[in-house]
Amino acid sequence: MYISARERKIVEVLLANEKGITVGELAEQLDVSDRTIHRDLKGVETILNEFGLQLLKKAGVGIQVIGEDEKKKDLQALLLKAVHAEYTPEERQTLIAIALLEAGEPVKLLSLAHDLNVTVATISNDLDKMEETFKQHGLSLLRKRGYGVEVVGLESAKRKMMGNLLFHHFNESEFLSIMKQSMLHEPRDMAGTVTEKLLGLVDKEKLFTIEKQLEMMKGDLPFAIADNSYIALVIHLALAIERIAQGEAIHFEPQYFETIRSTKEYRTAEKIAASLESAFQMTIPKEEIGYITMHLMGAKLRDRRGYMLEEGSLEIGRKVQELIRFVSRELHADLTDDYSLYEDLIVHLKPALYRIRHHMGITNPLLHTIRRDYLELFSVVERGMAQIFSDVAVPQEEIGYVVLHFASALLREKNGLHALVICSSGLGTAKILATRLKKEIPNISSIEQKSFFELHHVDANKYDIIISTVPIHTLDVPYFVVSPMLEEEEAAAIRQFLRNQKAAARKKQLNASGNTVQKMNAIQAISETIVQLLSAFAIEQAKEKRIPEVLAQACGQLQAKNIIQDSEQVLDALLERERMGGLGIPGTALSLYHARHEAVLRPSLTIYDLIMPETVMGMHGQPMDVKRILLLVAPKEASEEMLAVLSHVSSLVVKDEESMDLFSYGSEDELRSFLSGHLEKFFYEHLQQRKE
C-alpha cells in the first residue's frame, strides 16, 4: 500500500493523540491549511480501513482513531517499515500537477518536496519544466517566495487538464476496465502511486453513481454516445461533482450560454443535471449545465439515424463531398459514390470540428503509425483539409483519424468473410482496427463495428471472426484480443485461425423465419419511403413573395394531399428550424427547409420556385440570395430505414457541382429522373447488404 508522506504524518499524529485532535491543530503541526487536511483525510480513512480501524469525527473534540490496540500497533509497525518511493521525473511532475490542481490554493514547495522525497530545488526545476504544459491548457503557475505555488486560470481549464492527465496515463480501454471494476465492486491491483493519485481525482463511488444514473436515463437521450465520449462524459461529471462540492464554480460566457440553450443537447444536459441533483442531493448551477451541453455537442455518436437531417450536418456534408472529390482527384480513385465514406466522415467531423473550435482537445496516440503506414494519403488529406476547412486550424491528430476513414474506403472489397470489431473507444479505434484488418487480411471484407456497451444486443454467431481491443468475459464464442494497430503476430494468428475454419462454419443456426421477416420489413420500409417520395415529388410555383408565406402555401398544399395533418404546426417547426441557423446552401440558389414532426404522416420532398430572389442566412453564416426552396418533411418517429433514405436524399443535393446545379435550376422531369436513378441504386445496395 502506498502512503504519502503527509498521510503518514497525519496517521502518526492521530495515533499519538488517542483522545483526539482538531483539524486546525493538525494543520498547524504539519504547516498546511485546514483545507489540505480535509482533503488528505480521505486517503487516511482508506489506510485505516485496511487495518480494521476507523476515523471518528466529533464536534468540539476533533478527530481520533478508534479500534483495537493490536491493529493500531500493526499500523505503527507498517509506518516504521515504510520507505519513500522514488519516481521518474515524469511521474513526479504528474503528482505535482495533481496536487496543484486539487489544492485550489497556494502549495508550499517544502510540502511538495517532503511528499515526494526530493529537495526544494528539484521541485522548483520540475515546475520550470511544467510551465509550458500548464500554458497549453490555458493555465499559469503563480510562484512567490514565502507564498508557494498556485495554479491560476479558469475552472473549466483546470478540469480539462485533470481529464487529460487521466487519459494520458490510461488508455480508454484501461479506464473502461477500471470503471467496470468499480461498478461491480471488484478488487483492483493498482500499478503504483501515480495510478492511485490519478484515480483519486474522481471518487470511485461517485463514478459508480454517475454511471448508474446515465444508464438509467439512456432511453431518454436523443442519441447514443460512442464509448470514448461516454467515458469522457462520466469523467467530466465526476470531476464536476467533486469541484462543485468544493465550491469551485464554472464561469460560462452569457452570450454563448443563450445560444446553446435552444439545442437538444442542452435539454439532454438538463435531464442529466436533474438526475445527478437527485442522486447527490445538491444543486447544479446552470453554468455547469452549459458545460455538460458543450461535452454533448462535441461527442461522437454511435447511432447515425437521421444524422444528415440535423442542424449543421448538410453544411458539413457539402464540405465532405468536396473533400472526397479532392482526394479522389489526387489519388485517381473515384470515391464520390461511396455513401458509407460520406456518412462516416460527417458523423466523425461534425463533433470533431466543434471540439477544435472550442479548444476542447483532441488526442491521437497512433498518429505516428498512421503517418508511417499511409504517408501519401496523409499528405493528400492534409492538403485537402487545409483547403476546404480553411476557417479552422485542423490539427494533425484529427487529420490522422480522417485518413483512416479514407484508407478504409480504399480497401473495401465486395466479397469475403464477415468480421465483428469491438472497441471500448467507439468509432475512432474501431475504424483504425477495421482498416488494419482489411490491409493485413484481404479476405475479410465485411466488417461491423460495435462498442463495448452494445454487446448485449449482438448475436455473435453471425460472424466468421470477432476481434476486440479489450477482454470480453461475457462472450461464449472464440475471439481475438488485439492492439488497435494489429501487430504482425496478431494478424498471423487470425490468418491461421481462418485457414483452420471450414466453409460450413459460417452457417450458424439462426432463427430463419424471424430473420427473414426482419429483412423483408426493412426492405419494404425502404421501398415504401422511396415510392412515397417520388410519388409526391413536384416543383411548384410560389404564389407569395416572402418565404414565410411560401412555406405556409406549401404546408397548406401538403395538408390537402394528406401528407401532413396540421399545416400550422409544421409551419411553426420549419420557421423554428430557420431561427436556429442558416438554411441557404452555399454555392447554390437553394435553401433547404426540413422538419421531423408528429403532424407529418409520411415523408415528402417538394420544391418551390420563388417569384423573385430572397436573401436568407446561409449555412456558412453569411447572407445569400436563393431562388428555390427545397422542402423535406418526415414523421417524428420515422423508422431507421426511412431516415436512411431521407438522409441519402439530402446528401444528393450537395453530391457535386452538377447535382447542386440540377437542384438549383433543373426541371421537374430532370430532377425526378435524377432522384429515381440514385434512389434505385440506393435500394439495390441495401438489398444486397440484407442478403449478405
- Rounded-to-integer distance, Cα 480 and Cα 583, Å: 47
The helix-helix angle for 339-357 and 313-331 (nearest 10°) equals 120
pLDDT of residue 302: 45
How far apart CA 543 and CA 560 sit, in angstroms, is 16
Give long-range contacts, CB 8 A cutoff, 24+ apart: 248-253: 248/104, 248/155, 248/158, 249/155, 249/285, 249/287, 250/155, 250/156, 250/159, 250/285, 250/287, 250/288, 250/290, 250/291, 251/154, 251/155, 251/156, 251/287, 252/286, 252/287, 252/290, 252/291
DSSP category for residue 224: P
| pLDDT for position 445 | 66
Length of the chain measured in residues: 692
Q: Model confidence over 474-485: pLDDT tens digits?
A: 677 788 888 777
Query: Which range, of 42-46, 119-123, 124-128, 470-474, averages the lowest pLDDT?
Result: 470-474
CB–CB of 209/280 below 8 Å?
A: yes
* Better-scored residue on pLDDT, 687 or 515: 687
Question: In 3-state terms, what secondary structure has residue 599?
Answer: coil
505 confidence band (pLDDT: 50, 70, 90): very low
Cβ contact 650:592 at 8 Å: yes
Rounded to an integer, what distance in angstroms lies between the CA atom of residue 237 and that of residue 272?
Answer: 9
Distance CA 567, CA 600 (A): 9
The residues that bridge with 658 in the sheet, in sequence order, are: none
**Beta pairing, strands 623-635 & 604-617:** antiparallel
* Range name among 68-77, 242-251, 413-422 with the lowest pLDDT average: 413-422
SS3 string of 314-358? HHHHHHHHHHHHHHHHHHCCCCCCCHHHHHHHHHHHHHHHHHHHC
Statement: residue 174 has pLDDT above 70: no
pLDDT of 35 over the 60 cut? yes
Q: For position 506, what pLDDT does the model report?
A: 44
CA–CA separation, 350 and 353 (whole Å): 6
- Assess contact for 139 and 149: CB atoms under 8 A: no
Query: What SS3 class is residue 237?
Result: helix
List the grid coordinates of 356: 477544435
Q: What Cα–Cα distance (Å) separates residue 174 from each residue in 183, 231, 361?
A: 14, 11, 20
Q: Which helix H or strand E contains 468, and what residues bound it?
A: strand 465-468
- In 556-603, which ranges are E strands? 590-597
**Burial status of residue 369 (CB atoms within 10 A of its CB: 0-12, 13-18, 19 or more):** middle
The string of pLDDT tens digits covering residues 191-227 is: 445 666 666 666 667 777 887 777 777 666 655 565 5
Nearest one of 47, 60, 50 to 14, comparing CA atoms:
47
* pLDDT band at residue 387 under the 50/70/90 scheme: very high
Q: Give the confidence band of 363 by pLDDT, cuts at 50, 70, 90.
A: low
Quickly tell me which residue has 505535482 as its cell. 96
Is residue 102 a contact partner of residue 201, using CB atoms and an 8 Å limit? yes
42 vs 538: which has the higher pLDDT? 538
- Whether residue 541 has pLDDT greater than 80: yes
Which three-class secondary structure state does DSSP give residue 80? helix
Share of the chain above pLDDT 90, in %: 10
- pLDDT over threshold 70, residue 299: no
Residue 17 to residue 73: CA distance in whole angstroms:
14
CA–CA dist 435, 400 (Å, integer): 13
Q: Which of 42, 55, 3, 6 is nearest to 26 (CA)?
A: 6
**Is residue 653 a contact partner of residue 592, using CB atoms and an 8 Å limit?**
yes
Q: How far apart are CA 502 and CA 220, in angstroms?
A: 45
pLDDT reported for residue 298: 64
Neighbours of 24 (CB within 10 A): 12
Nearest Cα residue to 411 out of 341, 500, 314, 318: 341
Q: Would you call 491 helix, strand, or coil by DSSP?
A: helix
Q: What is the pLDDT of residues 609-661, one digit of tens each?
A: 999 988 888 887 788 999 999 998 888 888 878 888 888 888 888 888 888 88
Q: Which residues contact 449 (CB under 8 A, 6 or more apart)?
A: 421, 423, 427, 430, 431, 434
Terminal-residue alpha carbon distance, the chain? 54
Most confident of 180-184, 202-206, 237-241: 237-241
- Please check the confidence at residue 297 and state whether its pLDDT lies above 90: no
Residue with cell 430532377: 671
Average pLDDT over residues 235-264: 75
> Residue 354 pLDDT more than 80?
no
Residue 631: closest CA among 543, 558, 565: 558
Q: Residue 326: pLDDT above 90?
A: yes
Contact 245, 282 (CB under 8 A): yes
Helices (H), 137-280: 155-169, 172-183, 193-199, 204-216, 227-245, 254-260, 264-280
Assigned C-alpha cell, 184: 461491480
Average pLDDT, the chain: 78
Mean pLDDT within 163-173? 65
Instruction: Say which range, 35-39, 212-216, 363-367, has the weakest mean pLDDT.
Output: 363-367
pLDDT band at 560 (very low <50, low <70, confident <90, very high): very high
Nearest in space to 260 (alpha carbons), one of 287, 229, 226 = 287
Does the pLDDT of residue 188 top 60, yes or no?
A: no
- Specify the pLDDT at position 7: 79
Does pLDDT of 84 surpass 60? no
Q: Identify the pLDDT of residue 608.
A: 93
The residues pairing with 584 across neighbouring beta strands, listed in sequence order, are: 591, 618
Output the pLDDT for position 378.
92
Question: Collapsing DSSP states into helix, strand and coil, what is residue 546?
Answer: coil
- Greatest alpha-carbon span in the chain: 94
Instruction: State yes or no: pLDDT of 184 exceeds 50.
Output: no
Of 59-68, 172-181, 587-596, give the lowest mean pLDDT range. Answer: 172-181
SS3 545: coil
Parallel/antiparallel/unpaired status of strands 444-451 and 62-66 = unpaired
- What pLDDT is attached to residue 549? 92
pLDDT of residue 303: 47
Which of the listed ranges 231-235, 244-248, 263-267, 677-681 does the model predict with the highest average pLDDT? 677-681
Q: Under DSSP, is residue 503 helix (H, G, I), strand (E, B) or coil?
A: helix
Q: How far apart are CA 617 and CA 639, in angstroms?
A: 31
> Which pLDDT does position 432 carry in this prediction?
67
**pLDDT confidence of residue 424:** 58
HSE toward the beta carbon, residue 588, CA cutoff 13 A: 29
H or E element in which residue 409 lies: helix 396-410
Strand partners, 140: 152
Q: What are phi and psi of 202, to 5 degrees?
A: -125, 120
Burial class (CB in 10 A: 0-12, 13-18, 19+), 175: buried
Query: According to the model, what pLDDT value does residue 99 have?
Result: 87
Radius of gyration of the chain (CA): 29
- Mean pLDDT, rounded, for 497-516: 53
Q: Is the pLDDT of residue 381 over 90?
A: yes
User: Rounded to two decimals, what is the model's pTM?
Assistant: 0.52
Least confident interval from 358-367, 530-539, 655-664, 665-674: 358-367
Counting residues of the chain whose pLDDT is more than 70, the rounded percentage is 79
Give the chain's domains with CATH numbers.
5-81 (1.10.10.10), 89-153 (1.10.10.10), 159-297 (no CATH), 307-410 (1.10.1790.10), 417-506 (3.40.50.2300), 517-691 (3.40.930.10)
Higher pLDDT, 433 or 563: 563
Question: From CA 591, how far away is CA 163, in angstroms rounded?
Answer: 41
pLDDT of residue 414: 45
Q: Look-up: residue for cell 488526442?
A: 363
Distance CA 189, CA 296 (A): 32
Q: Which of 183-192, 207-216, 277-286, 313-322 has the highest mean pLDDT?
A: 277-286
